[in-house]
Structure 1
Amino acid sequence: MRQRDERASATLFAVAVVGVLVLVGAALGVVGAMVHAHRVAQSAADLAALAGAQSRARGADACAAAATVAEANGASVDRCTVEGFDVVLQVTVAGPHWLGQHHDLSAQARAGPA
């Protein structure tokens, strides 16, 4: 009966475990970056809509004010409409562009007088 040599089998197992941990870490990094980008987009949309509604109430250009605030918060305005005294807009923020992720994230907001 021959005995099998099991030298270096622990090394192979350790390399496999490290590979799995790196893959899981990278996936969690992408998810975290996407959540952060979505939060930035929603914050920029909310703040820009509020600025646009305040500007509209004062009689100024609501979409110009909203665009200024959105750009100051790292977003670009895709669509801005004024419905009465309400300002409705959609903004886009660049998403994480690594590990095959190439999508930008957008958010919508609406603001007006109470």
Structure 2
Amino acid sequence: MSARDDDRGAATVLVLAMVGVLVFVGAAGLVVVAMVVAHRAAQSAADLAAIAGARGVAEGSDGCAAAADVAEANRARLVACAVTSRDVAVRVEVAGPRWLGETADLGAEARAGPGP
């Protein structure tokens, strides 16, 4: 038996190991992309909810109720809402990705109103 016979199949094992690493890195990359997308969705929902809340206050209605409606329409949950004078500050959360053990919800804050 020669040294060449002992190495037979080594490339297959190396290729399988490298494919496993690439699959894991790819999956982790997809989780990161999904988290960025979810955070952007949360920020958009917060911005729209704050604007809707400020408009509701300007029209004489409940700004937080308007903000909650718009947040829900954007698949977000209104976590906090504060009306100060004619300004509305909101915090919303959206469900984050549930891959590879991730369970965090992503949140964002926004404020809208005429300002000082």
- Verify same fold: TM over 0.5: yes
Distance, in Å, in 1 between the alignment partners of 2:3 and 2:53 is 79
In the TM superposition, structure 1's runs of 4+ consecutive aligned residues that sit over 6 Å from their partners are: none
Map of 1:98 onto structure 2: 99
* Percentage identity across paired residues of the two chains: 61
Distance, in Å, in 1 between the alignment partners of 2:41 and 2:3 is 61
Structure 2 portions without partners, runs of 5+:
none
Structure 1 portions without partners, runs of 5+:
none
Distance, in Å, in 2 between the alignment partners of 1:113 and 1:17 is 57
Q: For residues 1-114 of structure 1, what are the structure 2 equivalents within 5 Å?
A: 3-4=3-4, 5-113=6-114
- The amino acid across from 2:3 in the alignment is Q
Distance, in Å, in 2 between the alignment partners of 1:47 and 1:10 is 55
Residue deviations 1:13-35 (CA, integer Å, cap 9, x gap)? 10011001001100001000100
Residue deviations 1:78-108 (CA, integer Å, cap 9, x gap)? 0001011000010000000110101000000
- The amino acid across from 2:112 in the alignment is A
Tell me the number of residue pairs that the alignment of Structure 1 and Structure 2 aligns: 114
Residue deviations 1:25-47 (CA, integer Å, cap 9, x gap)? 00001000100000000000000
Distance, in Å, in 1 between the alignment partners of 2:99 and 2:33 is 12
RMSD over equivalenced CA pairs, Å: 1.3
Give the structure-2-normalised TM-score. 0.94
Distance, in Å, in 2 between the alignment partners of 1:27 and 1:50 is 35
Give the structure-1-normalised TM-score. 0.96
> SS where residue 79 of structure 2 aligns?
strand
Residue deviations 1:26-85 (CA, integer Å, cap 9, x gap)? 000100010000000000000000000011001011000000000000100000010110
- The amino acid across from 1:95 in the alignment is G
